[in-house]
Amino acid sequence: MSEEKLRLEDLLGEKLANGDKDKIDYVAIIGGGLMGRGIAQTISAAGIDVVIIEKDEERCKKSQESLKASMEREISRWAMTQSEMKSILSRIKWTTDRSEIPECDLVIEAVDENYELKKQIFKELDEIAKPDTIFISNTSTLSLTKIAEVTKRPDKIIGMHFLNPVPKVPLVELVRALETSDRTVEIIKKFAARIGKTPVQVYEYPGFVTTRAIVPLLNEAMYILLEGIASAQDIDTAMKLGYNFKMGPLEMADTMGLDEVLAWMETLWHSLGEPRYRPCPILRKLVRERKLGKKTGEGFFKYDADGKIITSTMQ
């Protein structure tokens, strides 16, 4: 056999070996809240097995029931079939046992925007996951580089900032930390495409692109409401008709979750010190009252079980 042919076979063998190594067939998601469920549904719909790991059995049950209810609403709107829901749910497992982690090819953290919590989770995961497993955070404002410092794999830490509702929004921001390797970026780009998302690569900075751009708009709409310039309904109508938005900024904030929006504003306000990120008092008031938007049925508006606006809570 010629030397050239041997070299070609060696290259092909290496390529196949790397392909098998990079293949993602089983994904762990830490946290089964709104974002975790949406990410799990999206990944499962692409034919990949998922395990959602929660703190306790009660949270596991609630997460499972919420995802099923969400998909049943989609079925009622003719946006999904019973067989599609059955297929998606068959590939998702809920558990409190982290012993599944070593079997997973990818781990996605989707817990609250709390640096200490994320740091603790990444440190624990680093001790039990396979050495070549990539860790992903869904953070929208926190420093991935700082989170990566608690692991022995900073080159395998990357952000995937999904937007809510995850199954419907085709975008994902790929956030590169200081030591994230080119290989990690390429693997996750391919993974993003596989699950039907268009990846936009951004470098680590508070708010990245989407959060940093949208937060001032939401905040300003809230201040317009606070100052009595227009009602919540009229503010949203003006922005929808005037700028061709699918939903107005106040309904958008309700959809994102007002507690999440407040957390983003707080982080950007403290990190960047810009007045445009200082949370509006109305937002703080609603969060204190646990009126968190669509997920609780009330925020700037009241909603029915299908997430449709019933009435405005503020004039």
List, as one string, the DSSP characters of 131-155.
Answer: TT-EEEE--SSS-HHHHHTTSS-GG
Higher pLDDT among residues 306 and 284, named by residue: 284
User: Residue 208: its pLDDT value, please?
Assistant: 86
In percent, the amount of the chain with pLDDT more than 70 equals 93
For residues 7-35, average pLDDT: 70
Find the Cα–Cα–Cα–Cα dihedral 126, 132, 135, 136, rounded to 10°. 180
- Mean pLDDT in the chain? 91
Q: What is the pLDDT of residues 128-141, one digit of tens each?
A: 999 999 999 998 88
Q: Name beta bridge partners: 53.
A: 30, 95
pLDDT grade for 17, boundaries at 50, 70 and 90: very low
Task: Show the DSSP H helices in the chain as ranges.
Answer: 3-22, 34-45, 57-76, 82-90, 115-128, 144-148, 182-194, 210-226, 232-243, 249-256, 258-272, 281-288
